[in-house]
Amino acid sequence: MNDKLNNLSVGEAQACVLRYVPPGGSEAVPLEQSLGRVLTEDVRANRDLPPCDVSAMDGFAVRSNDLVGDDTVLTVIGDIKAGDRPRQAIASGQCARIMTGAPLPPGADAIVRVEDTQALSGARIGIAAPVKAGKDIRVQGEVMQNGETALAAGTEITPGAVGVLASLKRARVSVRRRPRVAILSSGDELEALDAPFDPERIPESNAYALMAQTQALGIEPVYLGIARDDPEELAGCLRQGLAHDVLLVSGGSSVGAHDHVRPTLEALGVTLHFWGVEMKPGHPVAFGTRDQHLVFALPGNPVSSMVCFEQFVLPALRAFMGHARLFRRTVTATLTQAVKHRPGRAEFVRVTLQRDANGRLTAASAGGQGSDNLCSMARADGLLILPEHCAGLAAGATARVQLFDGAGFEVASGFMEKMEETP
Query: Would you give the distance in Å from CA 114 to the centre of its chain?
Result: 42
Contact call for residues 296 and 313 (beta carbons, < 8 A): yes
Q: What is the total count of residues that contact Mg ion (CB under 5 A)?
A: 4
DSSP helix/strand/coil, 129: coil
DSSP 310: I
**22: which residues sit within 8 A by CB, 6+ positions away?**
245, 292, 320
Start-to-end CA distance of the chain, whole Å, equals 62
Whole-angstrom Cα distance, residue 369 to residue 391?
18
Q: Report in angstroms how near the CB of residue 259 gets to Mg ion at its nearest.
A: 6
CB 289 within 8 A of CB 295: yes
How far is C-alpha 194 from the chain's CA centre?
Answer: 33
Contact between 254 and ligand AMP by CB under 6 A: the answer reads: yes
Quick note: the x/- pattern for ligand AMP over 223-252, rule CB under 6 A, is: ---------------------------xxx
Q: For residue 13, what is the enclosing H or E element?
A: helix 10-19
In the set 24, 59, 187, 382, which binds ligand AMP (CB under 6 A)? 187
Contacted entry of ligand AMP, Mg ion, none for residue 281, CB cut-off 5 to 8 Å set by kind: none
Nearer to ligand AMP, 10 or 308 (CB): 308
Q: Supply the minimum distance, in Å, between the C-beta of residue 258 and Mg ion.
A: 6
H and E: helices and strands count for the chain: 8, 27
CB of 253 to ligand AMP, least distance (A): 6
- Using only the alpha carbons of the chain, give its radius of gyration: 31
User: Which of 11, 106, 256, 370 forms a contact with ligand AMP (CB under 6 A)?
Assistant: 256
Residue type (1 letter), 260 = H
C-beta of 21: minimal distance to ligand AMP in Å? Answer: 25
Q: For Mg ion, which stretch binds (CB under 5 A), given 23-31, 162-170, 275-283, 298-306?
A: 298-306
Per-residue x/- track, 296-315, ligand AMP (CB under 6 A): ---xxxx-------------
Please say which residue, 50 or 251, places its beta carbon nearer to Mg ion. Answer: 251
187 counts as binding Mg ion under rule CB under 5 A: yes
Which of 26, 40, 205, 365 lies at the binding interface for ligand AMP (CB under 6 A)?
205
Select from 128-136, 268-276, 295-303, 345-353 the region that touches ligand AMP (CB under 6 A). 295-303
Q: Which residue, judged by CB position, is nearest to ligand AMP in the bound state?
A: 300
Among Mg ion, ligand AMP, none, residue 93 binds (CB under 5-8 Å by kind): none
CA distance 1 to 310: 26
Nearest to 226 by CA among 246, 244, 245, 203: 203
Size of the residue set binding ligand AMP (CB under 6 A): 19
Instruction: Confirm or reject binding of residue 185 to ligand AMP (CB under 6 A).
Output: yes
Q: Which of the 8 DSSP states describes residue 312?
A: I
Q: How far apart are CA 128 and CA 116, in angstroms?
A: 7
Give me the residues that bind ligand AMP (CB under 6 A), please: 185, 187, 189-190, 202, 204-207, 250-254, 256, 299-302
Binding residues (CB under 5 A) for Mg ion: these are 187, 251-252, 300
